[in-house]
Amino acid sequence: MDQNSRIFVAGGRGMVGSAICRALAAKGFDNVLAPTRDELDLGNQAAVAEWFAQNRPEYVFLAAAKVGGIHANDTYPAEFIHDNLVIETNVIHSAWQNDTKKLCFLGSSCIYPKHAQQPMNEDQLLTGPLEPTNELYAIAKIAGIKLCQAYRRQYGFDAISLMPTNLYGPGDNFHPENSHVIPGLIRRFHEAKQEGREKVVIWGTGTPKREFLHVDDLADACVYLTQNYSDEQFVNIGVGEDTSILELAKLIAKVVGYEGKIETDPSKPDGTPRKLMDVSRAHELGWRAATGLEEGLKETYEWFLENQKAARL
């Protein structure tokens, strides 16, 4: 991948895709294609095929996906499996058909079994039942991995797959119901501070532990491994450390400046008890995350404050 290569970032206007665009620009890649959803509907097979035939990107970062938290996954299960399967199939197939040199597919840590041994290494895929609250999204992402492996085995197509842990950062979705935990809590603590509320109640017991990766670190990993890795084995992308949801809530309250009480609601679902990535393979390949959690939360809150009108609220 040289600085004049034609590079397609699928989902380039989303949180992950825009971070990849930033990372590419910072490294001097100036021939990046990132069409909007109005310009290219990735769910339309004919439109995707035509776009690839016309633009013939040499490198593809497949960051487009339908994503959301527990509530969104539970409310829209058909959309989560259908939309993601269609996007993956359309982009991967068209990339191969149009002689793309390399494709980087992004999955999710939810591909692992609900009770996977911690930390989760890449060999644990398909070794047990999935977490029911996001099973259909996980199945779609597993299918994406297998698509990449199949096209590599049958056609020699250079497709790699990266599995990031829970992401956060600039460009996140701060919707009160459909967001992930960090943007959701940032918004709730911010509003509680503004309104002078005495307490904030968080879903579940607060005991599940999660690992959080700043989206710019993921983008850096995508560019680095696209340039330095080629194999059908997917690679975990994370920080190798986790924190409980209650500890996370306390840290976000500190960053936001909320000084009220934090209570848990055990009647709400916890999701998977723990999700910690084994990132030794990524480390062996020469990549490590660089952003600390508190530092990343401060940056994300600053972005939220500066972009409330433009953010997905």
What confidence tens digit (pLDDT) does each residue in 248-269 have? 999 999 999 999 999 999 999 8
Q: Domains in the chain, please, with CATH?
A: 7-173+211-241+276-291 (3.40.50.720)
Q: Are 204 and 258 in contact (CB under 8 A)?
A: no
Q: Are 211 and 165 in contact (CB under 8 A)?
A: yes
The average pLDDT across 179-188 equals 90
Active-site annotation holder among 137, 151, 168, 229: 137
More confident residue, 273 or 79: 79
Among the residue ranges 74-83, 181-190, 221-230, 304-313, the one predicted with the least confidence is 304-313
The average pLDDT across 61-68 equals 91
pLDDT of residue 269: 84
More confident residue, 107 or 133: 107
**Bond from prior residue into 119 cis (ω within 30 degrees of 0):** yes
pLDDT of residue 131: 87
Q: Which amino acid is at 120?
A: M
Alpha-carbon gap, residue 299 to 127, rounded angstroms: 37
Handedness of CA 217, 114, 123, 93 (dihedral sign): negative
pLDDT of residue 98: 98
pLDDT of residue 76: 86
Return the closest-CA partner of residue 207 out of 252, 246, 166, 263. 246
Token couple for 211: 């690992």
Q: Are 81 and 136 in contact (CB under 8 A)?
A: yes
Alpha-carbon gap, residue 281 to 264, rounded angstroms: 36
The average pLDDT across 136-161 equals 98
Alpha-carbon gap, residue 235 to 309, rounded angstroms: 36
DSSP state of 307: -
The CA-CA-CA angle for residues 109, 115, 119, to 5°, reads: 55
pLDDT above 90 coverage of the chain, percent: 86
Cite the beta strand spans of the chain per DSSP E: 7-10, 32-33, 59-62, 102-106, 159-164, 166-168, 199-203, 209-210, 212-214, 235-237, 243-244, 261-265, 274-275
Is the pLDDT at 312 greater than 70, yes or no?
Answer: no
The average pLDDT across 272-277 equals 86
Handedness of CA 46, 47, 53, 59 (dihedral sign): negative
pLDDT of residue 62: 98
Is the pLDDT at 177 greater than 90, yes or no?
Answer: no
Cite the beta strand spans of 119-230 per DSSP E: 159-164, 166-168, 199-203, 209-210, 212-214
Partner residues linked to 127 by β-bridges: none
Alpha-carbon gap, residue 210 to 191, rounded angstroms: 24
Q: State the pairing for strand pair 32-33/59-62.
A: unpaired
pLDDT of residue 310: 64
Longest dimension (CA), the chain: 60
Given pLDDT bands bounded at 50, 70 and 90, which one contains residue 274? confident
* Binding region for NADP(+): 11-17, 106-109, 141, 164-167, 180
pLDDT of residue 183: 93
Is the pLDDT at 21 greater than 80, yes or no?
Answer: yes
**Mean pLDDT (the chain, rounded):** 94
Given pLDDT bands bounded at 50, 70 and 90, which one contains residue 179? confident
Over residues 279-299, the pLDDT tens digits come to 999 999 999 999 999 999 999
* Binding region: 11-17, 106-109, 141, 164-167, 180, 188, 203, 210, 270
Return the closest-CA partner of residue 50 out of 101, 102, 94. 94
* Binding region for substrate: 188, 203, 210, 270
Is the pLDDT at 311 greater than 80, yes or no?
Answer: no
Task: Report how far apart, in Å, the C-alpha atoms of 248 and of each of 48, 67, 212, 255 are.
Answer: 40, 21, 10, 11
Given pLDDT bands bounded at 50, 70 and 90, which one contains residue 215? very high
Q: Which amino acid is at 268?
A: K
Given pLDDT bands bounded at 50, 70 and 90, which one contains residue 26? very high
Q: Is 137 designated active site?
A: yes
The average pLDDT across 139-158 equals 98
